[in-house]
Amino acid sequence: MSNEINVKFHIRRYNPKKDKSPYFQVFDIPVSKGMVILDALHYIRENYDSSLAFRYSCRMGVCGSCGMLINGSPTLACNTQILDVSDKEITIGPLPNFQILKDLVPDLMPLFEKHRSISPFIIRDEKELDDPEGEYYQTPEQLEEYLQFTYCIKCGCCMAACPTLATDKNYLGPQPLSQAHRYNKDTRDSGRKKRNEITGSRDGAFKCHYAGECSRVCPKGVDPAKAVQILKRQLVFEFLHLIKKQEPCQKLHGPGKGEKLDIPEAPEKTV
Ligand code: FES
């Protein structure tokens, strides 16, 4: 094809079953306008090395399977035009902050387990489940409160970009926290208190340093950083409420089990 140019792809390879450490392999790929990164990976597999491992399914930015590190930024391979990244050299690796199963395939199980831990579904009172009264109506304004956060496709890009997760694997991370906020904000849900036990725990929302990288890389515009900040605010209000009522608050970073908070007097004004 006349309008093709050759782009060098540096692909990170690693097979834990036989390689001692990861290494890079370089492939020259003929690229034409309209080709996405996923097309280049298919080209490599069909023409150079059929053992290259990568994950994909929908090829249209919906399933969240093809997240990878493209020139240092976590993003979707099926949704990224090659020529928008570079017409010379492109480096591709697996998503950071996850174990690597092979080549460009990360193990996303920790993400799914953390997601499951925040009860990502609408929780209703048990009594009502036995005796439903009818449909659950919602106004457009109430829907607007959480709609943006429903667009998450669980690709893992936000988790891969998070600097806190890079140093602390126990931190819940932006994806589960933003989804906790999504359900907390749903007027049909009554599970916020249950989720607070996870989101307000030692490894929850307050570990977020608000670097904002999760929102920068999110391919669906979910803005997890915003969700986490709102979540923190909500947790602080509920924490203050507990202090006011002098209730045991061991579930949020308070004193030990069964203890009550001893609130000191505010110091005299100094200025
Ligand atoms: S293949 Fe489904 S999001 Fe890329």
CA of 52 to the centre of ligand 1 (A): 17
What are the domain boundaries of the chain?
A: 5-106, 109-245
CATH level 2 (architecture), domain 109-245: Orthogonal Bundle (1.10)
**Mean pLDDT lowest for which of 128-142, 213-227, 255-269?**
255-269
Ligand 1 pocket check for 159: Cβ under 6 Å = no
Ligand 1 pocket check for 61: Cβ under 6 Å = yes
**Mean pLDDT lowest for which of 124-128, 146-150, 156-160, 225-229?**
124-128
CA of 248 to the centre of ligand 1 (A): 46
Q: Which amino acid is at 253?
A: H
**Burial class of residue 268, CB neighbours in 10 A (0-12, 13-18, 19+):** exposed
Ligand 1 pocket check for 78: Cβ under 6 Å = yes
CA of 55 to the centre of ligand 1 (A): 8
**Per-residue tokens: 108:** 């996303």
Task: State what percent of residues in the chain have pLDDT above 90.
Answer: 81
- Complete DSSP assignment for the chain: -TT-EEEEEEEEE--TTT-SS-EEEEEEEEE-TT-BHHHHHHHHHHHT-TT-----SSSSSSS-TTEEEETTEEEEGGG-BHHHH-SSEEEEEPPTTS-EEETTEE--HHHHHHHHHT--S----HHHHHS--S-----HHHHHTTGGGGG----SHHHHH-HHHHH-TTS--HHHHHHHHHHHT-TT---HHHHHHHHTSTTSGGG-----HHHHH-TT---HHHHHHHHHHHHHHHHHHHHHHT---TTTT-SSTT----PPPPPPP--
Mean pLDDT of 59-65: 97
Atom of ligand 1 nearest to the CA of 77: 4
Q: Tokens 């109506």 appear where?
A: 137
- Give the pTM: 0.86
Question: Does this chain's domain 5-106 share its CATH topology with 109-245?
Answer: no
The yes or no reply on domain 5-106 and CATH 3.40.50.300 is no
Residue 245 has pLDDT above 80, yes or no: no
Residue 214 has pLDDT above 50, yes or no: yes
Ligand 1 pocket check for 219: Cβ under 6 Å = no
Beta strands at 89-93 and 67-70: parallel, antiparallel or unpaired: antiparallel
Please name the residue whose Cα sits nearest to atom 3 of ligand 1. Answer: 61
Pocket test for ligand 1, best of 36, 54, 56 (most atoms within 8 A of CB): 56
Ligand 1 pocket check for 42: Cβ under 6 Å = no
Ligand 1 pocket check for 254: Cβ under 6 Å = no
Q: Over the chain, what is the mean pLDDT?
A: 91
